[in-house]
Amino acid sequence: MTSATDPNKKPVAASDDASGAGPMVAVRNLRKEFGSLVAVEDVSLDVNAGEVFAIIGASGSGKSTILKCINFLEPPTAGEIWVDGRRVGVVETGGRLRPARASELRRSRADIGMVFQSFNLFPHFTALQNVIEAPMAVRGLSRSDAIGLAKELLDRVGLGDKFDEHPRRLSGGQQQRVAIARALAMRPKVMLMDEVTSALDPELVEEVLGVMKNLARDGMTMLVVTHEMAFARDVADSVVFVDGGRVVEQGPPSEILRAPQEVRTKAFLQRILRTDG
């Protein structure tokens, strides 16, 4: 329940709703400052369960910062983050709000998978070890259960023959697929994908997008920061265009990508489609 005395509070969320049909991720009036720089300003988003939500925009527009605020890798300056009906980063006890403790934040993060542009696999671990580490440490899975889960997930991303390889022996596309398996191993409620194909050689992009399409088909809720307009068009349910830290335009891909209303959206799409060829 939310406190009626707090004017900032908005009744979001599945838990409050008798039908249980609130958004899986709700961002309310998010603001993030780095020193005097305002990176994100007044951003509000609703992502429904099973939805693929693409965030597009130029580099430096604040789109990656929005993702990092959702799992509090970057604590927001102001605003609210809700995942599956629970506030992230803020805990209500006895009608009062306080910042979440580190342990409470870790619990929230465990439910929010994140995949990075630069993969960030643990280089001294094999593919399998990368995937089993967090389920064992955070979820308390036994080693054999974690290995079973990891093998299943690595199989699912097409790396059934790479369990014992170290990251440096894998291509960028393979590393990124291990990173996706590592995030999935936590059984997250939502996956945050931060330009996951931007660091890849062009011929490796498709194998990663393929895995993401499969995830989308299996009903995974995803927030995807991307420059892959074809992916946004074909796979996303909603597209939001971010510029200067603000949401400029939001809607289904058919509207945003084919018939943008805002001048800035049009200009951005023209630029990016020209470079895409």
Partner 1 sequence: MNLDFGIIAVVWPALLKGSLVTVQLTLAVLICATPLAVLVALGRDSKIPALRLPLAVFSAVLRGIPPLLVLFIVFFGLPPAGITLDPFPSAVLAMTCYMAFYFGEVFRGGLQSVPPDQWRAAEALGLKPSRTVVRIILPQTLPAVLPPYISHATEVLKGTALATAVAVPELTSAARQVFVVTFRPFEVLIVAALIYAVLDGILLTLQYWGERWAARTGTSIRF
Those residues with Cβ within 8 angstroms of residue 143's Cβ, 6 or more apart along the chain or in another chain:
132, 136
Determine how many CB atoms are found less than 10 A away from the CB of residue 130: 25
d(CA 34, CA 64): 14
Chain centroid to Cα 184, Å, comes to 12
Nearer CB in complex with partner 1: 138/272: 138
Contact 222, 190 (CB under 8 A): yes
**Interface ranges with partner 1 (CB under 8 A):** 71, 73, 102, 106-107, 109-110, 112-114, 116, 118, 120-124, 133-134, 137-138, 166-169, 182-183, 186
The least distance separating partner 1 from the CB of residue 19, rounded to whole angstroms, comes to 30
The residue among 179, 236, 239, 200 whose CA lies nearest residue 55 is 239
The least distance separating partner 1 from the CB of residue 8, rounded to whole angstroms, comes to 27
The least distance separating partner 1 from the CB of residue 44, rounded to whole angstroms, comes to 23
Beta strand 52-56 with 246-251 is unpaired
The residue among 56, 185, 195 whose CA lies nearest residue 118 is 195
Residue 36 φ/ψ, nearest 5 degrees:
-90, -5
The least distance separating partner 1 from the CB of residue 134, rounded to whole angstroms, comes to 4
d(CA 273, CA 270): 5
Those residues with Cβ within 8 angstroms of residue 244's Cβ, 6 or more apart along the chain or in another chain:
41, 61, 62
| Interior angle at CA 77, CA 75 and CA 81, nearest 5 | 60
The least distance separating partner 1 from the CB of residue 103, rounded to whole angstroms, comes to 8
The least distance separating partner 1 from the CB of residue 263, rounded to whole angstroms, comes to 35
Nearer CB in complex with partner 1: 121/205: 121
d(CA 109, CA 111): 5
The least distance separating partner 1 from the CB of residue 201, rounded to whole angstroms, comes to 13
Nearer CB in complex with partner 1: 113/260: 113
Contact 260, 249 (CB under 8 A): yes
Nearer CB in complex with partner 1: 184/216: 184
Nearer CB in complex with partner 1: 167/173: 167
Nearer CB in complex with partner 1: 110/229: 110
Nearer CB in complex with partner 1: 21/102: 102
